[in-house]
Structure 1
Amino acid sequence: MRTNNIENSKGISFDVKGLKIPSRFFFAPINTGLSENGVLSEEFFEFYKERSHSSIGINYIGNVAIDPKYVTNPNTAYFTDQTSQWEKLTKLIRKRGSVPGIQIACRNSSLTPIRRMINNDVETYLNTVRKDLINIPREEIQDIINKFIDTSIKASKLGFDVIQIHAAHGYFLSQLLSKSLNIRADEYNASDLFFLKTIINGIRDKKPNLIIDLRISFLEGIKNDIQEKKDKEDLIKKLIDLDIDIISFSNGIYDVNKQLIYPLEQWGHACFLENIIEYAYKYPNILWNYAGNIWGIDILGLEELPNNLSFSLGRALIADPLFVEKSINNKTHLINRCEHKNKCHYYSLNLSHIGCPIYELNKNTID
């Protein structure tokens, strides 16, 4: 991977497999809830259109399920026979100046996703997931692996240049990666990464130049932080030997503690950034991505950070789709800032799709 300076901005661009990613700031993958039976609504298109600019390097379509039976909630997106809508979307994102990315995901659990932010009965969750993983047949795991490969290849054909494999937040691949959850002793154990290698090699066989991103939860919220960091250090040593272009850090398990996924305001700006910086310095040929509580680009201290470190923004860009553009053009006084109204956590509020009072109040000012 090569990095190049962008003139007149606080960002840098990346050259990955011959594709220029125009900015180090990405729109984080988000399950918007703006689709029904796999069909994308007009609101879905508008949501991603407004957050596509040359100041946004990759615009990730979040949480696209590998199959309807593996959705997170009824309004989760997935591929249907109506592929033209996805081609329209990727062309729109590219025309607006961003690189089209997609997060491929699978939730496979006997548990209904919890709505509250913190699970008060973590032991039941742990025991249920361990039992689920032990009992799932090899054939079903292999079928899920094949669906990850097939969905990624299909996404590439529909115009997506970046595929993010969702192995964070307690989704199925995240569970397989977790030594706290996966106690299988066969080839699908938590240590050998056979399932990840199979997915990545399967994609590479058909699409050798496709950019592959892997998203993991650095802190799961199960063990103490010291032990979790040690586990992730061991995991990352294995991941860098895989044919992955980007490793994205998030945190948390959805059914344990959502606050690690959506950090509290009082935890501070970029509160988990220290967990990733050392890896960016140590492994310069990987593009690393950080997400979590980024409120201001001007206070990130970019001149002190490694050039192969990128940032995914969620709430800031939901509240103001021009957050990055205003930031790098010294118009921070015009930013409509997230005020933690929490309507973006729509599922927790028993709502069907994403919302943002700050965006709704100011949307008529968006170009």
Structure 2
Amino acid sequence: MKINNIENPLKFSYDIKGLNIPSRFFFAPINTGLSENGTLKEEFFDFYKERSHSSIGINYIGNVAIDPKYVTNSNTAYFTNQTNQWEKLVKSINNRGSVPGIQIACRNSSLIPIRKMINNNVEEYLNTVRTDLINIPKEEIQDIINKFINTSIKASNLGFNVVQIHAAHGYFLSQLISKSINLRVDEYNASDLFFLKAIINGIRDKKPNLIIDLRISFLEGINNDIHEKKEKEVLIKKLIDLDIDIISFSNGIYDINKQLIYPIEQWGHACFIQNIIDYANKYPNILWNYAGNIWDIEKLGLEELPNNLSFSLGRSLIADPLFVEKSINNKTHFINKCEYKNKCHYYSLNLSHIGCPVYELNKNIN
């Protein structure tokens, strides 16, 4: 990895595997709910087109399921035979200056995703998930591994330059890497990471130049923070030996505490950033990515942060697609700021797709 524009931390770019990522600010992977039976709605294209600029290094299409069997909800995107839709999307992102990225995901659970923000019966959830993991046949896990590989290869063939493997938020791979959840003692145990190695090696075998990102939940919300940080330290030492280019930090398990995924305003700006800084300093050959409560780029103090630390923005870019562009061009007074109306995590509100009152208001005004 090579870092460019080193004299200006606002305008860093990265060269990874021969590809230039034009900014250290990315659009976070988000499940928009703007698809039906895998087919992308017209609003889907508009949503990502508006948030593609040279100021957005990677524009991640979020939560694309490896198979219709493993969707998060009925409006989750997945690949169908209508590949022209995805080619059109990739072209649009490229033409506007961002690198097209895609998050590949698998939810495999007997539980329906909870709608409320905090689960008041965590033990029942954990007992069910642990039992599900122990009982899932080896053949099905291997099939999921193959689907991760094949979907990633297909994404690359469709023009996506970056594939993020979703191993956060309580999704299937997140469960497998968690020692608090995965009690298996066979080759699919939580310590050896056989399944991750198989996925990464399977992708690399066919796509050696594809940029591979792995997203994990640093804090799961199961044990106390100290215990979880020690557990992740062991995990990360193993992850850096895998052939991956980016490690993305998020937090939380969707069915335990959504506030860790969508931090509340009172927790403060970039409230979890300290969890990633030491790793970025220690492992300079990996591009690290932080997400969570970034509403003011100036407050990040970029001059004091490692050069190989990038940032994924969700709510700020949902409220104002030009948030980064305005920030780096000294037009912060024109930013339409997120007001934490929470319609971006629409499922919790029994809605079918993403929304944002701030964006809608200013779009109508303009």
TM-score normalised over the length of structure 2: 0.99
Measured in 2, the distance between the counterparts of 1:158 and 1:219 equals 33
- 1:326 equivalent in alignment to 2:319: no
Partner of 2:116: 116
Letter paired with 2:346: Y
Q: Per the alignment, in what secondary structure is the counterpart of residue 222 of structure 1?
A: coil
Measured in 2, the distance between the counterparts of 1:185 and 1:6 equals 46
Deviation at 1:365? 6.4
Partner of 1:297: 297
Flag as ranges the 4+ runs of structure 1 deviating above 6 A: 6-9
Letter paired with 2:101: G
Partner of 2:345: 345
Preserved contact between residue 187 and residue 194 of structure 1 (Cα < 8 Å): yes
Measured in 2, the distance between the counterparts of 1:158 and 1:122 equals 40
Preserved contact between residue 11 and residue 25 of structure 1 (Cα < 8 Å): no
C-alpha offsets along residues 60-95 of structure 1, whole Å, 9 cap, x if unaligned?
000000000100000000000000000000010000
Partner of 2:165: 165
Partner of 2:156: 156
Measured in 1, the distance between the counterparts of 2:85 and 2:343 equals 27
Preserved contact between residue 9 and residue 307 of structure 2 (Cα < 8 Å): no
Preserved contact between residue 2 and residue 14 of structure 1 (Cα < 8 Å): yes
Preserved contact between residue 252 and residue 259 of structure 1 (Cα < 8 Å): yes
Q: Per the alignment, in what secondary structure is the counterpart of residue 336 of structure 1?
A: coil
Measured in 2, the distance between the counterparts of 1:141 and 1:217 equals 21
Q: Per the alignment, in what secondary structure is the counterpart of residue 32 of structure 1?
A: coil
Measured in 1, the distance between the counterparts of 2:340 and 2:289 equals 23
What RMSD, in angstroms, separates the aligned Cα atoms of the two structures? Answer: 1.0
Letter paired with 1:187: E
Deviation at 1:177? 0.4
Where do 5+ consecutive residues of structure 2 fail to align?
none
Partner of 1:311: 311
Pair 1:107–1:316, CA change in 2 (3 A): same
Measured in 2, the distance between the counterparts of 1:52 and 1:126 equals 39
Partner of 2:251: 251
Where do 5+ consecutive residues of structure 1 fail to align?
none
Measured in 2, the distance between the counterparts of 1:308 and 1:87 equals 30
C-alpha offsets along residues 204-239 of structure 1, whole Å, 9 cap, x if unaligned?
000000000000000000000000000000000000
Pair 1:226–1:41, CA change in 2 (3 A): same
- 1:82 equivalent in alignment to 2:82: yes
Superposed, which structure 2 residues align to 1:25-36 within 5 Å? 25-36=25-36
Pair 1:80–1:18, CA change in 2 (3 A): same
C-alpha offsets along residues 248-304 of structure 1, whole Å, 9 cap, x if unaligned?
000000000000000010000000000000000000000000000001001100000
Measured in 2, the distance between the counterparts of 1:333 and 1:10 equals 18
Measured in 1, the distance between the counterparts of 2:252 and 2:58 equals 23
Preserved contact between residue 9 and residue 329 of structure 1 (Cα < 8 Å): no
Preserved contact between residue 323 and residue 335 of structure 2 (Cα < 8 Å): yes
Deviation at 1:52? 0.1
Partner of 1:4: 4
TM-score normalised over the length of structure 1: 0.99
- 1:61 equivalent in alignment to 2:61: yes
Q: Per the alignment, in what secondary structure is the counterpart of residue 59 of structure 1?
A: strand
Deviation at 1:8? 6.9
Partner of 2:70: 70
Pair 1:9–1:278, CA change in 2 (3 A): closer
Deviation at 1:11? 2.7
Measured in 1, the distance between the counterparts of 2:20 and 2:249 equals 22
Letter paired with 2:330: N
Q: Per the alignment, in what secondary structure is the counterpart of residue 248 of structure 2?
A: strand
Preserved contact between residue 316 and residue 338 of structure 1 (Cα < 8 Å): yes
Partner of 2:141: 141
Q: Per the alignment, in what secondary structure is the counterpart of residue 77 of structure 1?
A: coil
Measured in 2, the distance between the counterparts of 1:243 and 1:365 equals 47
Measured in 1, the distance between the counterparts of 2:109 and 2:223 equals 21
Letter paired with 1:346: Y
Overall identity of the aligned pairs, in %? 85
Pair 1:175–1:331, CA change in 2 (3 A): same
Measured in 2, the distance between the counterparts of 1:8 and 1:299 equals 16
- 1:198 equivalent in alignment to 2:198: yes
Preserved contact between residue 9 and residue 302 of structure 2 (Cα < 8 Å): no
Partner of 2:24: 24
Deviation at 1:7? 7.7
Deviation at 1:345? 1.2
Partner of 1:220: 220
Measured in 2, the distance between the counterparts of 1:96 and 1:6 equals 24
Measured in 2, the distance between the counterparts of 1:204 and 1:9 equals 31
Deviation at 1:9? 7.1
Deviation at 1:363? 1.5
